[in-house]
Amino acid sequence: MSNTSKLKQDLLPFLTRDEISSLVKSLAKQIEIDYAHKEVIFICPLRGSVHFTADLMREVQLQQQVDFVDVKSASKGGAIKIIKDIGINIAGKHVIIVEEIIDTGRTLSFLRNRLLASNPASLKIVTLLDKPARRELPIRADYVGKTIDDRYVVGYGMDSEELGRNYPDIYFLKN
């Protein structure tokens, strides 16, 4: 049995692609209201946020740019380092970090501080899923699609050992 089909056996349905789409549209509308007539720069942390960022960008009817960062935690609780930094100047710009899920908040806190050092006009965070039970640092998203319990999720960019990112729906890992 392949790893992919083994993973599928260990999953319970959580959010369908239609439910995800509805959350994305709702978040996009909130962003459009808050940033009416302004340009926004979406910052997409690789890899998990790619699906959400692409869908959100298609829904947000504002002038926009996107850039990508790759930030890694060396180990559980270890040092965080930038593998790939942003390539555009965000000074004086309206920046939105796009996260598929906020878990401990360590990497996101690091990224937020890194971006604030570049003096954006504003910096907000949008997350599809928020898992506050796992938070190690007091960081909150400005826009939250759905708050979830402390369960492991797979699909729509989120993976289990690099498997499942491509699933269009989101699943809980059975435990």
The CA–CA distances, whole Å, from 100 to 3, 37, 91, 142, 145 equal 23, 26, 25, 13, 9
CATH class of the region 17-173:
alpha beta
Evaluate if pTM is beyond 0.85: yes
What is the pLDDT at residue 73? 81
Distance (Å, whole) CA 50 – CA 70? 11
Distance (Å, whole) CA 136 – CA 153? 19
Helix count and strand count (H, E) for the chain = 4, 9
Distance (Å, whole) CA 86 – CA 61? 23
Q: What is the pLDDT along the chain (175 residues), one digit of tens a residue?
A: 667 666 778 899 999 999 999 999 999 999 999 999 999 999 999 999 999 999 999 999 999 999 999 998 877 767 899 999 999 999 999 999 999 999 999 999 999 999 999 999 999 999 999 999 989 998 999 999 999 999 999 999 999 888 999 999 999 988 7
Handedness of CA 104, 3, 156, 87 (dihedral sign): positive
Burial of 28 (0-12, 13-18, 19+ CB in 10 A): buried
Cα–chain center distance at 156: 10
Is 142 tagged catalytic? no
User: 84 has which bridge partners?
Assistant: 70
User: 40 has which bridge partners?
Assistant: 64, 94
Is 173:10 a contact under the CB 8 Å cutoff? yes
What is the pLDDT at residue 4? 63
Is 131:100 a contact under the CB 8 Å cutoff? no
Residue 106 tokens, joined: 């360590």
Residues 6+ apart with CB under 8 A from 26: 145
What is the pLDDT at residue 1? 61
Q: Which of 10, 70, 103, 130 is the catalytic position?
A: 103
